Chains A and B, each alone.
Chain A
């Protein structure tokens, strides 16, 4: 079945440093979504990428979808303490309904 791998598992940064998490799928995806889960909370949708090579920005967050639609990345510029949480990628394959989540990257930020 479809597998989504995400690295790194953990990332600790000083406030102001940049952060990147990477996502790789075992199969070609129809689209990929990113979610953020705060400690003790539930996943909250951030963005969806659909097109090959697509790049989207939300303030300090930059999301990329690979040309082969099998990998993706999330980059945060100048992290803030409010960025703390676990970032998950979730891919949709051919079925176009089931979201397969990566294991997530836990980001902690030292003020």
Chain B
């Protein structure tokens, strides 16, 4: 596709509900990142994939957060038993392996837990 696509754009979840956020990266991009952005803050690293391998998940805030990229393309970030503090914009970014490996971000999913 032309850019990184994320869905849904907005999600309202009741506390305790499970949610799944989807990211469709730019075709051919090997690297995929998930970031969490709270209001007025910078993106905080959650996890990193190189193809289907999850090489770094050090930023996942708790074991309620789980990410996968089974075929090295589309990725899903799942949050179980959502809590109010999970409310944020979840950004997905993909990069190529060129020398200037800028991150191309999707529009993000704004998650509100009520």
Chain A residues in the interface with B (C-beta under 8 A): 6, 33, 35, 41-45, 48, 88, 90, 95, 97-104, 106
Contact A99 B45 (CB under 8 A): yes
B residues with CB within 8 A of A: 31, 33, 35, 40-45, 48, 50, 55-56, 91, 93, 100-108
Which residues of the partner chain A approach B44 to less than 8 Å between Cβ atoms? Answer: 101
A5 to B91, CA, bound (A): 21
Residues A103 and B100 in contact, CB atoms below 8 Å apart = no
Listed by A's residue number, 13 A-B pairs whose Cβ atoms lie within 8 Å are A41-B107, A43-B93, A43-B103, A43-B105, A88-B42, A95-B56, A97-B48, A97-B55, A98-B33, A98-B56, A101-B45, A102-B42, A104-B41
User: Are B43 and A101 in contact (CB-based, < 8 A)?
Assistant: yes
Residue of B at shortest CB range from A44? Answer: B105
A40 to chain B, nearest CB (A): 9
CA distance A88 to B45 in the complex (A): 14
